[in-house]
Amino acid sequence: MTRRKVKLAFIVNNSSRKTTYKKRKRGLLKKAHEIFTLCGINAGAIIYSPYDPTPEVWPSVEGMNQVITTFRNLTEIDRHNNMVNQQEFVQQRITKADKLLLKKKKDNREVNLTEDMYRFLQIGQLTIPAGGHNNPALAKDLNDLGYLVDQYLNSLNRRIQILEGGSDVEIGESL
């Protein structure tokens, strides 16, 4: 059973906040230990808490000092190579979301054009909105529809060749 998405907001109830803090801290330290064990990298965590006057250090103060020393001994380029500040992180997320949006728009456009193609094949005519004959968007739609029809025809011709035995491509292969 999957967990529902948690709304990230400040927890007003003090006892609930403290309980959540303890659970999340335990999970964070467990993840740090897992990455240390599984990947063989030096990792460390320092947690300052309003519930404890001294910071909690994992794996130990000596281990954390070793991680910090190793980090400080890196060259400036190596040190900043994979570091991301909040602004860069948000920018990366926006760029990723923009790419996903463009892909979804392209997929939706292809689905709409495919529906138009099948509708045209059923009724034998394309419905053009009023005043659409001079619309440049209509010309683009028709060009894209023509391209889609050509793709389907090429795919059908390849399948015909396969079924007639005139191709080296086997039936199980992707076209």
Phi–psi pair at 57, nearest 5 degrees? -120, 130
Q: pLDDT band for 98, please (50, 70, 90 cuts).
A: very high
Token pair of 105 as six digits: 């728009």
Tell me the CATH number at 54. 3.40.1810.10
Q: Within a 10 A sphere around the Cβ of 121, how many other Cβ atoms?
A: 9
107 part of a folded domain? yes
Query: What pLDDT is attached to residue 116?
Result: 80
Q: How far is residue 125's CA from residue 121's CA, in Å, rounded to a whole number?
A: 8
Token pair of 128 as six digits: 């053009």
Which residue is associated with the tokens 């028709």?
142
Query: What pLDDT is attached to residue 167?
Result: 55
- Based on the fold, state whether residues 152 and 104 are members of the same structural domain: yes
> Lowest mean pLDDT: which of 77-81, 138-142, 157-161, 168-172?
168-172
Domain final position from 51, 83, 115: 83
50 part of a folded domain? yes
Cα dist from 9 to 6, 13, 17, 90, whole Å: 9, 12, 11, 18
Quick check: bond before 55 cis, omega within 30? Answer: no
174 part of a folded domain? no
Average pLDDT over residues 133-153: 81
Q: Give the structural domain span for 142.
A: 88-164
Q: Which amino acid is at 126?
A: L
Q: How far is residue 142's CA from residue 160's CA, in Å, rounded to a whole number?
A: 27
pLDDT score of 41 more than 80: yes
Domain final position from 83, 112, 133: 83
CA 11 and chain centroid, separation: 29
Which residue is associated with the tokens 């900043």?
80
pLDDT score of 114 more than 80: yes
Phi–psi pair at 55, nearest 5 degrees? -70, 150
59 part of a folded domain? yes
Answer with the residue of higher pLDDT: 29 or 135.
29
